[in-house]
Amino acid sequence: MQKAFINLVRTRGFDQLSVQQLTQTAGISRGTFYLHYLDKYDLLTHYENSIVTDIADIFRRYPKPGPQRIPTADAANNAFYQLFKYLYRQRDLAALLLSEPASKMSTKVKALIGTVLTTADSQPAADRPAFPPAFAQEIVTKGIIDLIIFWLHQDPIPSPQTAYQIFQQSRDLTPSQLTSIVIQAGTAQK
């Protein structure tokens, strides 16, 4: 049923999706559908919760990164590297749910990432710049979600290893440096 759900939401949008279309495409009876789900919203919530639970488990099982870069040799034991591997395996559903306006998945994953960031080792207070923490968290978590969504919508999708390397590099660059890269790329295309 997941493949039918993904294909129908991609082509019609979640708002236009009906249980009848879904059951016909999936080749199951409406009775079977209603045995497991209340409606299409319940199915959407089921898929969201399944992925969010798996991501929460990854963040529980693997070490979270601190402000310092993790050496490449240790990347496999990093929660974010494992996140990229998991999302790659679930790429069709994850890309859909992270981009679908009816889905709350982006908000749920962003909250998980925010939790990880607030529990990671950080700089001593004396070394931290004076900046409102809630704004800093929003900028960082939104940036990570946007990077993941952008990555999952590439054709072809780069490997989890490549995505993780880009993620790691992006954490080290300032907004000014990123803007400079964009400007240089634009100048090179002219």
- Is 90 exceeded by the pLDDT of residue 129? no
pLDDT exceeds 60 at position 73: no
The CB density around residue 63, as the number of other CB atoms within 10 Å, is 14
CATH no. of 1-36: 1.10.10.60
Band the pLDDT of 35: cuts 50, 70, 90: very high
Separation in Å, CA 98 to CA 85, 101, 167: 16, 8, 17
Asked whether 81 and 164 are in contact (CB, 8 A), the reply is yes
pLDDT of residue 45: 97
Least confident segment among 63-77, 91-105, 137-151, 153-167: 63-77
Inter-residue contact 58 to 82 (CB < 8 Å):
yes
pLDDT at 71: 53
**Residue 31: pLDDT over 60:** yes
Percent of the chain with pLDDT over 70: 88
Per-residue model confidence (pLDDT) at position 122: 55
Q: Residue 67: which pLDDT band, with cuts at 50, 70 and 90?
A: low
Contacting residues for 184 by C-beta, under 8 A, at least 6 apart:
none
Q: Return the percentage of the chain with pLDDT > 90, whole number.
A: 65
Nearest to 66 by CA among 145, 110, 119: 119
164 pLDDT higher than 80: yes
pTM, two decimal places: 0.86
Mean pLDDT, rounded, for 102-122:
85
